Amino acid sequence: MSGINIYSFHRWILGVALVAISGIALAGQVTDPAVPYVDGDSLNASKMNSIRNAVNDNDTRITALQNGTPTCGASMTAVGPSCVDTVRQAIQTSWIAAVETCRAAGKRLLTPGEFIAAFNQDAAGFGITVNGQFEWVDSVAQNASENGIAGNGQGKMLAGFMGPSALVTPVGGILFGNDRTYDQAAATNIHTRCAR
């Protein structure tokens, strides 16, 4: 392979790698060789097959994202273009701790729209049919009466949660609340579920 072809090939591989790590999609790994390529290496069938498989996997994942049918992991379910945790976290936390739990897993809290979509798609499958069992969502408001001057748009951030409730009509409809401060201690009936 001529020097110019090797240079072009390396630029092509770098481009694929940048797309893979940019968060657009996670490509399959190029596993051959176990150590990085160096100038002068021969390009054999095993190396080419590994690269081809990684590129094809990346193409499949990008196509799925463009079509709104993401490839979700074993513990997640596709809800429209998003992947949602099939099972919510068992341990209750504050809203800010829930945000951190999702961030540490490379995920985020559901938006209110995603929560409704998951509920409409399969409430029983997601376990969100229990009256009075809520989940944190990515929605905030400001509380002008706490740690701020009322009327000036200042105040401690309030966090949102949603879930089925007997308090709304029809009974079992979705209640939305944002009356908990973001760092308020865990409530026994507000859970965490993440999305990607």
* pLDDT above 90: residue 161: yes
Confirm whether 71 is domain-assigned: no
Confirm whether 125 is domain-assigned: yes
Number of domains in the chain: 2
Which segment of 29-38, 93-102, 158-167 scores lowest on mean pLDDT?
29-38
pLDDT score at 14? 46
* pLDDT above 70: residue 119: yes
pLDDT score at 18? 40
Question: Is 83 in the same domain as 102?
Answer: yes
Question: Is 115 in the same domain as 181?
Answer: yes
Question: Is 169 in the same domain as 115?
Answer: yes
Question: Is 55 in the same domain as 110?
Answer: no
Neighbours of 174 (CB within 10 A): 17
* Top mean-pLDDT range of 45-59, 66-80, 94-108, 145-159: 94-108
The token pair at 180 is 């908990």
φ/ψ of residue 136, rounded to 5: -65, 140
Question: Is 106 in the same domain as 185?
Answer: yes
Question: Is 159 in the same domain as 92?
Answer: yes
pLDDT score at 102? 97
* pLDDT above 60: residue 100: yes
pLDDT score at 155? 76
* Average pLDDT in the chain: 79
Neighbours of 68 (CB within 10 A): 10
- Which residues face 164 on adjacent strands? 174
Question: Is 96 in the same domain as 169?
Answer: yes
For 47, the domain range is 3-66
Question: Is 81 in the same domain as 174?
Answer: yes
The pTM of the full predicted model, rounded to 2 decimals, is 0.65
* pLDDT above 90: residue 125: no
pLDDT score at 24? 40
Nearest Cα neighbor of 165 from 137, 130, 139, 189 is 130
Neighbours of 52 (CB within 10 A): 11
Distance CA 71, CA 48 (A): 25
Question: Is 128 in the same domain as 190?
Answer: yes
